[in-house]
Amino acid sequence: MWLNFKLEEQLKEIPKHILLRASLGDAEAFEIIYQLASGFVYSIALRITNNPEDAQDVTQDVFIKIYKNLKNFKFFSSFKTWVYRITVNTALNACREISRQISQRADHDSLASHQGEGDSMMEIAAERADHERLIMDLLAVLNPDQRACIVLREIEGLNYREISEVLNININTVRSRLKRAREALLAYRKSEVMKDELPKDTAVAVSRLP
């Protein structure tokens, strides 16, 4: 279930002739692309939506877009950037749609508690390491735009210029979103420390935060 490998290797393994064949409508070639890239797409979608069901829907949408537009992909700087862009944008749109639905229902539950529901959540929770739980909790503190920046920076390892290209925002916006996100995570950690009384030295360090 868990695959722990780097995207770079994963996407570079899609041979050019496979992309070409898929762009000409070859279903078998498209399935190979799916097998090679779906872990990458799903992981990003999962981190940004922070919800397995939404991430599945986003993954499906992303691959439909890839299928329909593959014949145009030579116009983009790279396949990787192209797939990043489709994935992140589709995931962010899904987040907007979800928050719209939630506000329409006048449901004041936070996004995090909303995400606690659902069967697939329970399935994943059963096999998820504590660390996965922590990552989801931390991402739930952030808004979707901040999540996208954190995911691309921390998990995908993109630099500011690459993030700005994927999200189509300027570098100063990347910087300020990362700053806000980290401030929010620090504040969250501070509140957790106060609740749980973590080891003394960490508590001292956090209590001195501005």
Residues 101-140 that bind other proteins (CB under 8 A): 120, 131-132, 134-135, 138
The amino acid present at 114, given as its one-letter code, is: H
Tell me how far CA of residue 120 lies from CA of 51, 123, 125, in angstroms.
9, 5, 8
Identify the residue among 15, 103, 117, 122 touching other proteins (CB under 8 A): 15
In the bound complex, what is the minimum distance in angstroms from residue 38's beta carbon to other proteins?
5
- Does residue 197 come out as left (phi exceeding 0), alpha (psi in the -120 to 50 range) or beta? left
Residues in the chain, total:
210
Alpha-carbon distance 124 to 116, whole Å?
11
> Which residues within the stretch 185-204 sit at the binding site for other proteins (CB under 8 A)?
185-186, 188-189, 202, 204
In the bound complex, what is the minimum distance in angstroms from residue 100's beta carbon to other proteins?
23
Alpha-carbon distance 184 to 46, whole Å?
20
Identify the residue among 22, 33, 43, 164 touching other proteins (CB under 8 A): 43
Identify the residue among 22, 33, 46, 95 touching other proteins (CB under 8 A): 46
Nearest to 51 by CA among 138, 116, 142, 135: 116
> Which residues within the stretch 17-36 sit at the binding site for other proteins (CB under 8 A)?
17, 19-21, 24, 31, 34
Identify the residue among 122, 125, 194, 209 touching other proteins (CB under 8 A): 209
> Which residues within the stretch 140-179 sit at the binding site for other proteins (CB under 8 A)?
150, 153-155, 159-160, 175-176, 178-179
Alpha-carbon distance 152 to 88, whole Å?
9
Question: Token digits for 111?
Answer: 């996004």
